[in-house]
Amino acid sequence: AQRVTQPEKLLSVFKGAPVELKCNYSYSGSPELFWYVQYSRQRLQLLLRHISRESIKGFTADLNKGETSFHLKKPFAQEEDSAMYYCALTRYGGSQGNLIFGKGTKLSVKP
């Protein structure tokens, strides 16, 4: 079955602490992975995708095919990082139509 698992519903850290939001996937083909973010009272938006291999707002994510994981990391969390984070996947090189989302992790960064 094709599935994205985000094991933590809620992750709470203090400002300046490292943060890692976990994402594991199950996919029969070659996947393309994404992280989406939804800040309070804002729309869901793309944060980053594995194929770009870039750092956005200090966040990075590396696709580990051996462990079927795509964890999102930031070395020093900021209060403005507090949001709902969703991991998603689709077939690499294909249509985006079948984006499969995890259930999300709510990140709370305390001052």
**Which residues contact other proteins (rule: CB under 8 A)?**
32, 43-46, 49, 51, 86, 90-104
Minimum CB separation from other proteins for residue 64, in Å?
Answer: 19
- Residue closer to other proteins (CB basis): 7 or 94: 94
Q: Which one, 49 or 77, has the nearer CB to other proteins?
A: 49
Nearer Cβ to other proteins (77/87):
87
| Cα torsion 74, 36, 102, 106: sign | positive
What CA–CA distance (Å, rounded) separates 100 from 87?
Answer: 8
Euclidean distance between CA atoms 21 and 70, whole angstroms = 9
| Minimum distance from residue 16 beta carbon to other proteins (Å) | 30
We find the least distance from the C-beta atom of residue 106 to other proteins, in angstroms, to be 13
Rounded Cα distance, 7 and 11, in Å: 10
Question: Are the C-beta atoms of residues 10 and 108 closer than 8 Å to each other?
Answer: yes
Q: Cβ of residue 30: shortest distance to other proteins, in angstroms? A: 11
